[in-house]
Structure 1
Amino acid sequence: MKKAVVLLSGGLDSTTALYLAKSQGFEVYAISFDYGQRHDKELQCAKNVAEAAGVKEHIIVKTNMDAWGGSALTDKNIDVPEGDVNRTDIPITYVPARNMIFLAFAASYAEKIGAQDIFIGVSEVDYSGYVDCRQEFLDAMEQAINKGTVCGVEGRKIKINAPFINMTKAEEIKLGMELGVDYSLTWSCYKGEDKACGVCDSCLLRLKAFKEAGFEDPIEYKEEK
């Protein structure tokens, strides 16, 4: 069976990507990151999703990206702001080069296990303006991976799959429902409280997507705009 490494945060996008990879016949190896984020709720959700989906292996890589901070997600001295789905600037929740770092780890893992596919659940349509969620970046990263790995140089190239890059989150949720994704196991809020805040960028995008898809979001919120 062909193998795939799936970047699994425990959020809506990565969970849907995992189920899509499984539906395409891949033996799934999930990789998650304890990178110094302000809470571990999403990481616990990643563990629950991996177990529910029956992945072949789930590993958690521990890094310390909070050592230099620079983001509301890794620096507890920076407050998570209220969201704005119409913003045009890069929000303070952007973590410097996060997807570049994550994909580098995923490539190393993929080379070790003999996987030629990496799945990442990013989108250029419904997202928070992060520069490392663009197809242009993914193409460049894939090229770098295949120039910097033995498997790539020998012709066993690694492909970065971003199946939702041109999809709205609503379209993604509809697909996830068809695939049997249990979204009650996922977490998207930037805050790690008992209930999702309902007002950060990630919550707003998630709530908007479920409404447009015609489904009720199964997680609880403190408030909704």
Structure 2
Amino acid sequence: MKNAVIILSGGMDSTVCMAYAGSREYNLYPITFNYGQRHAYEVGQAKKIASYFQSNRHLVVDLAFFREIGGSALTSEAIELPLNRTEKEIGSGIPITYVPFRNGVFLSLAVAYAEAVKAQAIFIGVNALDYSGYPDCRPEFIEAYQTVIDAGTKQASEDKQKLQIITPLLYKTKAEIVKMGMDLAAPLQLTTSCYRGEELACGRCDSCLLRLKGFSEAGFIDPISYESY
């Protein structure tokens, strides 16, 4: 069987990626980042999800760096989270929840992990449709990073073994992601999306609103609990 590293946040998208990788008969090596995010509740959920899949070693990496540099509403409580925004507002510009080059840092560590376990793939749940305007979720970013991997890893340059970034959700709407998760029997009941980071989701932050929109359009009831809709 092939090996795959999955960047597992504890959210819905990364969990669907995990289920997808498992359905393709990869050995699963999840990696989760505790980067000082306000919604660190997701790290605990990621551990539950990794256990659910009976995955191989689940690596949890502490990155206090992001909280120290600030610059994002997700890592600094001094910046208010955006609430009750419209779909148009969410998709306009780069929001204050953008964490500086987060996916670039995550992918760098995931590549190192992948080489160590001789993985053939790295799965990441980036999305270019129902997304919050983050530049490190765009197709051109993934394509550029693949070039970096091809040029900068022993696995690619000497061993001649491809290490591929796989983005199964890149061009899917949130409703399509929900449907995909249901078809794959992904444990969506264990996932969390709320930026507030509590067991009861707020239902008002950008992430909650996009998730609720996806479940509504897909025709399913979200299995997690909300404070309000």
Normalized against structure 1, the TM-score is what?
0.97
1:189 aligns with 2:190: no
Match of 2:119 among 115, 134, 138: 115
Structure 1 residues 18-27 or 175-184, which shifts more? 175-184
Distance in 2, Cα, partners of 1:220 & 1:113: 37
Indicate the SS of the match to 1:86.
helix
Unaligned 5+ runs, structure 2: none
Distance in 2, Cα, partners of 1:55 & 1:213: 28
Q: CA deviation at 1:47?
A: 0.4
Say if 1:16 and 1:176, in contact at 8 Å, map to a contact too: yes
* 2:27 aligned partner, one-letter code: E
Q: Runs in 1 of length 4+ with deviation above 4 angstroms? A: none
Q: Give the aligned partner of residue 103 of structure 1.
A: 107
Distance in 2, Cα, partners of 1:151 & 1:192: 38
Q: CA RMSD in A?
A: 0.9
Q: What is the percent sequence identity of the aligned residues? A: 50
Say if 1:85 and 1:128, in contact at 8 Å, map to a contact too: no
1:221 aligns with 2:226: yes
Counting only pairs closer than 5 Å after superposition, residues 63-142 of structure 1 correspond to structure 2 as 63-64=63-64, 65-82=66-83, 83-87=85-89, 88-142=92-146
1:22 aligns with 2:25: no
Q: CA deviation at 1:18?
A: 0.1
Say if 1:36 and 1:63, in contact at 8 Å, map to a contact too: yes
Distance in 2, Cα, partners of 1:165 & 1:153: 27
Say if 1:38 and 1:191, in contact at 8 Å, map to a contact too: yes
Say if 2:39 and 2:194, in contact at 8 Å, map to a contact too: no
Structure 1 residues 151-160 or 40-49, which shifts more? 151-160
Q: Give the aligned partner of residue 45 of structure 1.
A: 45
Normalized against structure 2, the TM-score is what?
0.96
Q: Deviations over 1:69-116 (max 9, x none)?
A: 100001111111113321211110000000000000000000011002
Q: CA deviation at 1:157?
A: 2.2
